[in-house]
Amino acid sequence: MFSNQYMQQAYALACKANDSGEVPVGAVVVYKEKIIGAAYNQVEVAKNPLAHAEILALEQALAFTCTKYIEQCELYVTLEPCPMCAHAISLAKIKRIYFGAYDEKGGGVVHGAKIYNSSSCHHHPEIISGIMEDECSRLLKNFFNNLRR
Amino acid sequence: MFSNQYMQQAYALACKANDSGEVPVGAVVVYKEKIIGAAYNQVEVAKNPLAHAEILALEQALAFTCTKYIEQCELYVTLEPCPMCAHAISLAKIKRIYFGAYDEKGGGVVHGAKIYNSSSCHHHPEIISGIMEDECSRLLKNFFNNLRR
Protein backbone atom coordinates (compact mmCIF):
# COMPACT_ATOMS: atom_id res chain seq x y z
CA MET A 1 0.00 0.00 0.00
CA PHE A 2 1.39 3.38 -0.95
CA SER A 3 2.63 5.63 1.80
CA ASN A 4 4.34 8.93 1.21
CA GLN A 5 6.55 8.29 4.25
CA TYR A 6 8.54 5.72 2.28
CA MET A 7 9.28 8.11 -0.55
CA GLN A 8 10.29 10.64 2.09
CA GLN A 9 12.74 8.05 3.45
CA ALA A 10 14.07 7.43 -0.05
CA TYR A 11 14.39 11.19 -0.51
CA ALA A 12 16.28 11.52 2.79
CA LEU A 13 18.71 8.86 1.51
CA ALA A 14 19.08 10.75 -1.77
CA CYS A 15 20.01 13.84 0.29
CA LYS A 16 22.70 11.81 2.06
CA ALA A 17 24.05 10.74 -1.34
CA ASN A 18 24.08 14.39 -2.37
CA ASP A 19 26.00 15.40 0.76
CA SER A 20 28.66 12.81 0.05
CA GLY A 21 29.12 13.82 -3.59
CA GLU A 22 27.14 10.97 -5.13
CA VAL A 23 24.43 11.43 -7.75
CA PRO A 24 21.48 11.91 -5.38
CA VAL A 25 19.32 8.82 -5.65
CA GLY A 26 17.85 6.89 -2.72
CA ALA A 27 15.75 3.74 -2.52
CA VAL A 28 13.88 1.71 0.06
CA VAL A 29 12.30 -1.74 -0.13
CA VAL A 30 9.16 -2.21 1.93
CA TYR A 31 7.71 -5.51 3.14
CA LYS A 32 4.53 -5.53 5.20
CA GLU A 33 4.93 -1.87 6.07
CA LYS A 34 8.50 -2.37 7.25
CA ILE A 35 11.65 -1.13 5.52
CA ILE A 36 13.91 -4.13 4.85
CA GLY A 37 16.29 -2.45 2.40
CA ALA A 38 17.47 1.17 2.35
CA ALA A 39 20.36 2.59 0.38
CA TYR A 40 21.70 5.44 -1.63
CA ASN A 41 23.89 5.56 -4.64
CA GLN A 42 27.50 4.55 -3.80
CA VAL A 43 29.11 4.64 -7.24
CA GLU A 44 31.84 7.16 -6.35
CA VAL A 45 32.81 5.99 -2.90
CA ALA A 46 32.76 2.30 -3.89
CA LYS A 47 34.31 3.02 -7.31
CA ASN A 48 31.62 0.70 -8.58
CA PRO A 49 29.33 1.72 -11.45
CA LEU A 50 26.88 -1.02 -10.43
CA ALA A 51 26.37 0.34 -6.89
CA HIS A 52 23.06 2.02 -7.65
CA ALA A 53 20.65 2.70 -4.78
CA GLU A 54 18.08 0.17 -6.07
CA ILE A 55 20.59 -2.68 -6.38
CA LEU A 56 21.97 -2.07 -2.89
CA ALA A 57 18.47 -1.87 -1.38
CA LEU A 58 17.41 -5.04 -3.23
CA GLU A 59 20.50 -6.92 -2.03
CA GLN A 60 19.67 -5.96 1.57
CA ALA A 61 16.04 -7.03 1.19
CA LEU A 62 17.04 -10.37 -0.38
CA ALA A 63 19.53 -11.00 2.42
CA PHE A 64 16.85 -10.13 4.97
CA THR A 65 14.18 -12.47 3.58
CA CYS A 66 16.61 -15.24 2.57
CA THR A 67 14.35 -15.96 -0.38
CA LYS A 68 15.05 -15.87 -4.10
CA TYR A 69 12.02 -13.73 -4.83
CA ILE A 70 10.47 -10.89 -2.88
CA GLU A 71 7.05 -10.76 -4.55
CA GLN A 72 5.36 -9.08 -1.65
CA CYS A 73 7.77 -6.17 -1.58
CA GLU A 74 7.46 -2.68 -2.98
CA LEU A 75 10.35 -0.46 -3.97
CA TYR A 76 10.42 3.31 -3.60
CA VAL A 77 13.12 5.15 -5.50
CA THR A 78 13.65 8.86 -6.11
CA LEU A 79 14.61 8.45 -9.80
CA GLU A 80 13.32 6.32 -12.65
CA PRO A 81 15.45 3.13 -12.54
CA CYS A 82 18.06 2.56 -15.25
CA PRO A 83 17.76 -0.60 -17.40
CA MET A 84 20.09 -2.59 -15.09
CA CYS A 85 18.04 -1.74 -12.00
CA ALA A 86 14.70 -2.09 -13.78
CA HIS A 87 15.56 -5.62 -14.86
CA ALA A 88 17.01 -6.49 -11.42
CA ILE A 89 13.67 -5.37 -9.90
CA SER A 90 11.87 -7.69 -12.31
CA LEU A 91 14.22 -10.61 -11.54
CA ALA A 92 13.51 -10.19 -7.82
CA LYS A 93 9.76 -10.17 -8.67
CA ILE A 94 9.10 -6.92 -6.81
CA LYS A 95 5.36 -6.28 -6.81
CA ARG A 96 5.27 -2.54 -7.31
CA ILE A 97 7.66 0.35 -7.95
CA TYR A 98 7.08 3.93 -6.93
CA PHE A 99 9.50 6.38 -8.46
CA GLY A 100 9.94 10.12 -8.18
CA ALA A 101 11.71 11.98 -10.99
CA TYR A 102 11.75 10.85 -14.61
CA ASP A 103 15.08 10.15 -16.27
CA GLU A 104 14.82 10.95 -19.94
CA LYS A 105 18.50 10.24 -20.60
CA GLY A 106 19.22 7.16 -18.52
CA GLY A 107 15.85 5.74 -17.44
CA GLY A 108 14.85 2.26 -18.53
CA VAL A 109 11.23 2.07 -17.36
CA VAL A 110 9.26 4.67 -19.29
CA HIS A 111 12.27 5.82 -21.35
CA GLY A 112 15.01 4.16 -23.40
CA ALA A 113 15.02 0.38 -23.21
CA LYS A 114 11.55 0.32 -21.54
CA ILE A 115 12.50 -2.93 -19.86
CA TYR A 116 9.01 -3.99 -18.82
CA ASN A 117 7.68 -3.69 -22.37
CA SER A 118 10.27 -6.04 -23.83
CA SER A 119 9.93 -9.75 -24.53
CA SER A 120 12.94 -10.50 -22.27
CA CYS A 121 10.96 -9.35 -19.22
CA HIS A 122 8.98 -12.12 -17.51
CA HIS A 123 7.76 -10.33 -14.39
CA HIS A 124 6.11 -6.94 -14.73
CA PRO A 125 5.95 -4.88 -11.56
CA GLU A 126 3.20 -2.31 -11.28
CA ILE A 127 4.64 1.18 -11.82
CA ILE A 128 3.54 4.35 -10.09
CA SER A 129 5.59 7.35 -11.11
CA GLY A 130 5.94 11.03 -10.32
CA ILE A 131 5.75 10.65 -6.49
CA MET A 132 7.43 13.72 -4.95
CA GLU A 133 8.66 14.40 -8.47
CA ASP A 134 9.48 18.08 -7.91
CA GLU A 135 11.68 17.52 -4.84
CA CYS A 136 13.46 14.49 -6.34
CA SER A 137 14.04 16.26 -9.63
CA ARG A 138 15.22 19.51 -8.03
CA LEU A 139 17.80 17.65 -5.93
CA LEU A 140 19.25 16.06 -9.07
CA LYS A 141 19.23 19.30 -11.07
CA ASN A 142 21.00 21.20 -8.29
CA PHE A 143 23.59 18.43 -7.99
CA PHE A 144 24.45 18.54 -11.70
CA ASN A 145 24.37 22.36 -11.81
CA ASN A 146 26.89 22.44 -8.96
CA LEU A 147 29.11 19.93 -10.75
CA ARG A 148 29.25 22.16 -13.83
CA ARG A 149 30.29 25.28 -11.86
CA MET B 1 42.30 -9.72 -28.46
CA PHE B 2 40.12 -12.77 -28.82
CA SER B 3 41.40 -16.02 -27.46
CA ASN B 4 39.38 -19.19 -27.36
CA GLN B 5 41.06 -20.14 -24.07
CA TYR B 6 38.98 -17.52 -22.24
CA MET B 7 35.70 -18.89 -23.55
CA GLN B 8 36.94 -22.31 -22.55
CA GLN B 9 37.49 -20.95 -19.04
CA ALA B 10 33.99 -19.46 -19.03
CA TYR B 11 32.65 -22.80 -20.25
CA ALA B 12 34.50 -24.66 -17.47
CA LEU B 13 32.82 -22.32 -14.96
CA ALA B 14 29.43 -22.98 -16.56
CA CYS B 15 30.09 -26.71 -16.06
CA LYS B 16 30.76 -26.02 -12.36
CA ALA B 17 27.43 -24.18 -12.16
CA ASN B 18 25.77 -27.16 -13.81
CA ASP B 19 27.32 -29.56 -11.31
CA SER B 20 25.99 -27.52 -8.40
CA GLY B 21 22.45 -27.28 -9.78
CA GLU B 22 22.68 -23.73 -11.09
CA VAL B 23 21.64 -22.65 -14.58
CA PRO B 24 24.97 -23.29 -16.34
CA VAL B 25 26.42 -19.91 -17.21
CA GLY B 26 30.03 -18.87 -16.65
CA ALA B 27 31.86 -15.59 -17.27
CA VAL B 28 35.40 -14.24 -17.16
CA VAL B 29 36.72 -10.69 -17.38
CA VAL B 30 40.09 -10.32 -19.09
CA TYR B 31 42.51 -7.41 -18.72
CA LYS B 32 45.77 -7.41 -20.62
CA GLU B 33 45.55 -11.13 -21.22
CA LYS B 34 44.97 -11.86 -17.55
CA ILE B 35 41.73 -13.06 -15.98
CA ILE B 36 40.72 -10.58 -13.25
CA GLY B 37 37.14 -11.79 -12.74
CA ALA B 38 35.77 -15.32 -13.03
CA ALA B 39 32.41 -16.54 -11.81
CA TYR B 40 29.45 -18.73 -12.45
CA ASN B 41 25.79 -18.27 -11.77
CA GLN B 42 25.03 -18.39 -8.02
CA VAL B 43 21.30 -17.64 -8.01
CA GLU B 44 20.23 -20.82 -6.21
CA VAL B 45 22.98 -21.16 -3.64
CA ALA B 46 22.93 -17.45 -2.77
CA LYS B 47 19.13 -17.23 -3.04
CA ASN B 48 19.81 -14.10 -5.03
CA PRO B 49 18.23 -13.55 -8.45
CA LEU B 50 20.86 -10.88 -9.20
CA ALA B 51 23.82 -13.25 -8.73
CA HIS B 52 24.40 -13.80 -12.43
CA ALA B 53 27.84 -14.91 -13.61
CA GLU B 54 28.49 -11.61 -15.43
CA ILE B 55 27.63 -9.43 -12.41
CA LEU B 56 29.84 -11.50 -10.09
CA ALA B 57 32.74 -11.46 -12.55
CA LEU B 58 32.36 -7.70 -13.10
CA GLU B 59 32.32 -7.05 -9.33
CA GLN B 60 35.58 -9.00 -8.98
CA ALA B 61 37.19 -7.12 -11.85
CA LEU B 62 36.10 -3.74 -10.45
CA ALA B 63 37.44 -4.66 -7.02
CA PHE B 64 40.71 -5.77 -8.61
CA THR B 65 41.28 -2.59 -10.62
CA CYS B 66 39.86 -0.22 -7.97
CA THR B 67 38.57 1.93 -10.79
CA LYS B 68 35.04 3.00 -11.67
CA TYR B 69 35.41 1.95 -15.28
CA ILE B 70 37.21 -1.00 -16.82
CA GLU B 71 37.36 0.20 -20.43
CA GLN B 72 40.29 -1.97 -21.34
CA CYS B 73 38.58 -5.17 -20.27
CA GLU B 74 36.80 -7.80 -22.29
CA LEU B 75 34.09 -10.11 -20.97
CA TYR B 76 33.58 -13.69 -22.09
CA VAL B 77 30.28 -15.30 -21.15
CA THR B 78 28.72 -18.58 -22.24
CA LEU B 79 25.20 -17.13 -22.72
CA GLU B 80 23.83 -13.92 -24.18
CA PRO B 81 23.58 -11.51 -21.22
CA CYS B 82 20.15 -10.60 -19.84
CA PRO B 83 19.14 -6.90 -19.83
CA MET B 84 20.43 -6.39 -16.25
CA CYS B 85 23.85 -7.80 -17.10
CA ALA B 86 24.00 -6.15 -20.51
CA HIS B 87 23.43 -2.73 -18.97
CA ALA B 88 25.86 -3.45 -16.10
CA ILE B 89 28.50 -4.28 -18.74
CA SER B 90 27.80 -0.94 -20.41
CA LEU B 91 27.96 0.96 -17.09
CA ALA B 92 31.38 -0.58 -16.39
CA LYS B 93 32.43 0.50 -19.92
CA ILE B 94 33.64 -2.96 -20.90
CA LYS B 95 35.30 -2.74 -24.32
CA ARG B 96 34.13 -5.97 -25.90
CA ILE B 97 31.81 -8.90 -25.09
CA TYR B 98 32.20 -12.39 -26.45
CA PHE B 99 29.21 -14.60 -25.82
CA GLY B 100 28.44 -18.23 -26.63
CA ALA B 101 24.80 -19.31 -26.87
CA TYR B 102 21.94 -17.04 -27.86
CA ASP B 103 19.08 -16.54 -25.40
CA GLU B 104 15.90 -15.93 -27.34
CA LYS B 105 13.74 -15.85 -24.22
CA GLY B 106 15.83 -13.91 -21.72
CA GLY B 107 18.65 -12.27 -23.66
CA GLY B 108 18.96 -8.51 -23.75
CA VAL B 109 21.70 -7.95 -26.31
CA VAL B 110 20.44 -9.24 -29.65
CA HIS B 111 17.01 -10.22 -28.28
CA GLY B 112 14.31 -8.57 -26.17
CA ALA B 113 15.27 -5.18 -24.76
CA LYS B 114 18.35 -4.99 -27.06
CA ILE B 115 20.03 -2.81 -24.45
CA TYR B 116 22.80 -1.45 -26.68
CA ASN B 117 20.36 -0.21 -29.29
CA SER B 118 18.38 1.91 -26.83
CA SER B 119 18.73 5.62 -26.08
CA SER B 120 19.39 4.86 -22.38
CA CYS B 121 22.69 3.17 -23.28
CA HIS B 122 25.68 5.51 -23.36
CA HIS B 123 28.53 3.07 -23.81
CA HIS B 124 28.31 0.45 -26.52
CA PRO B 125 30.65 -2.51 -26.15
CA GLU B 126 31.66 -4.35 -29.27
CA ILE B 127 29.76 -7.65 -29.48
CA ILE B 128 31.09 -10.91 -30.84
CA SER B 129 28.59 -13.74 -30.54
CA GLY B 130 28.34 -17.46 -31.20
CA ILE B 131 31.77 -18.39 -29.75
CA MET B 132 31.63 -22.09 -28.79
CA GLU B 133 27.89 -21.75 -29.33
CA ASP B 134 27.19 -25.48 -29.71
CA GLU B 135 28.88 -26.50 -26.45
CA CYS B 136 27.41 -23.61 -24.44
CA SER B 137 23.94 -24.20 -25.85
CA ARG B 138 24.06 -27.98 -25.35
CA LEU B 139 25.02 -27.56 -21.70
CA LEU B 140 21.98 -25.33 -21.11
CA LYS B 141 19.60 -27.58 -23.04
CA ASN B 142 20.73 -30.66 -21.11
CA PHE B 143 20.34 -28.79 -17.83
CA PHE B 144 16.75 -27.78 -18.57
CA ASN B 145 15.87 -31.22 -20.00
CA ASN B 146 17.08 -32.83 -16.79
CA LEU B 147 15.04 -30.38 -14.70
CA ARG B 148 11.86 -31.37 -16.56
CA ARG B 149 12.40 -35.09 -16.01
Beta-carbon count within 10 A of A62 CB: 24
Residue A1 has pLDDT above 70, yes or no: no
Q: Of A68, A111, A120, which is closest to B120 when you measure between CB atoms? A: A111
Mean of all residue pLDDT scores within chain B: 96
Report which secondary-structure segment, H or E, holds A76.
Answer: strand A73-79
Q: Taking the mean position of all CA atoms in its chain, how far away is CA B103?
A: 12
Across the interface, which of A48, A66, A120 has its CB nearest the CB of B112?
A120
Q: Where are the domains of chain A?
A: 5-148
How high is the pLDDT of residue B141?
Answer: 97
What's the start-to-end Cα distance of chain B, in Å? 41
Q: Is A19 within 8 Å of A44 (Cβ atoms)? A: no
Q: What is the pLDDT of residue B2?
A: 67
Whether B121 sits inside 8 A of A111 (CB atoms) is no
Closest C-alpha to B87, from A61, A128, A120 = A120
In tens, the pLDDT along B2-28 reads 679 999 999 999 999 999 999 999 999
Query: Across all residues in chain A, what is the average pLDDT?
Result: 96
Q: What is the mean pLDDT of residues B35-48?
A: 98
Q: What is the pLDDT of residues A68-104, one digit of tens each?
A: 999 999 999 999 999 999 999 999 999 999 999 999 9
| A133 in contact with chain B, both atoms CB, cutoff 8 A | no
Q: Give catalytic residue positions of B.
A: 54
Could you give the CA distance from residue B7 to residue B47 in angstroms, rounded to a whole number?
26
CA distance B72 to chain A (A): 15
> In chain B, which residues have their Cβ closer than 8 Å to the Cβ of A122?
105-106
**ipTM summary value:** 0.96
- Annotated ligand binding at B82? The verdict is yes
| Confidence class for position B1, pLDDT limits 50, 70, 90 | low
pLDDT bin (cut points 50, 70, 90) of residue A149 is confident
Put simply, whether the predicted model's pTM sits higher than 0.95 gets the answer yes
B residues 88-107 closer than 8 Å to A (CB):
88, 91-93, 105-107
Chain A residue nearest residue B114, CA to CA: A113
Tell me the per-residue pLDDT of B77-102, one tens digit each, with 9 for 90 and over.
Answer: 999 999 999 999 999 999 999 999 99
Which residues of chain B have a CB within 8 Å of the CB of A49? 62, 68-69, 88, 91-93
pLDDT tens per residue, range A24-55: 999 999 999 999 999 999 999 999 999 999 99
How high is the pLDDT of residue A2? 67
Beta strands B126-129 and B96-101, pairing class: parallel
Q: Does domain B5-148 have CATH number 3.40.140.10?
A: yes
Q: Rounded to an integer, what distance in angstroms lies between the CA atom of residue A137 and that of residue A107?
A: 13
pLDDT at B149: 77
Return the ∠ at Cα B58 (arms to B52 and B61), rounded to 5°: 145
CB contact under 8 Å between B113 and A43, yes or no, is no
